[in-house]
Amino acid sequence: MKRIKDERLIIRNLENVRWAFGIENLAALAILASELINRRPWNAILSLKNPAFLLVFIGSMVLVVLSLNVAGPIEGGKRKLSTRFLIMAFLLEWLFWGAFFWMALAFSQMLLSAICGLIPELVMTGSTLYINRFREG
């Protein structure tokens, strides 16, 4: 395929990709809906082994992470969060996620809960740090 040089066609191509993404996700959601109607168990539908759910999940996660570079500049007018606040927020949120996993694991495996809680917390802190770069003062 020839490389597109015309800026109008590059934009058009990106719009096409956006449409393809939307239709692909709608199709995956339709498959999930049909599985729900056919009374497939919830845990089987919402499992990462289910390709339709995996597709929607990956698409949503990628979109959430990519939307940071849109959310960041919008936050630009607000005051910058201090390092102390960020550390406190990190610890409190880690505690929350750790407790969440601890409960999910029937109040056992504390170390594993702490490690599992660290993963969503690192994503949250990473996004907060990224957005904080755009804040003022």
Q: Please, what is the minimum distance in Å from the beta carbon of residue 13 to other proteins?
A: 13
- Considering the complex, state which of residue 73 and residue 126 has its C-beta at the smaller distance from other proteins: 73
Q: Which of residues 2-31 bind other proteins (CB under 8 A)?
A: 5-9
Structure-block tokens of residue 126? 């990473």
Q: Please, what is the minimum distance in Å from the beta carbon of residue 126 to other proteins?
A: 32
Q: Please, what is the minimum distance in Å from the beta carbon of residue 72 to other proteins?
A: 22
Which ranges constitute the DSSP H helices of the chain? Answer: 7-37, 42-45, 51-66, 68-74, 83-104, 110-132
Asked if residues 118 and 96 have their Cβ atoms less than 8 Å apart, the reply is no
Q: At what angle do helices 51-66 and 7-37 cross, to 10 degrees?
A: 140
- Considering the complex, state which of residue 10 and residue 64 has its C-beta at the smaller distance from other proteins: 10
Residue with token string 């009374």: 39
- Considering the complex, state which of residue 5 and residue 49 has its C-beta at the smaller distance from other proteins: 5
The contact set with other proteins (CB under 8 A) reads 5-9
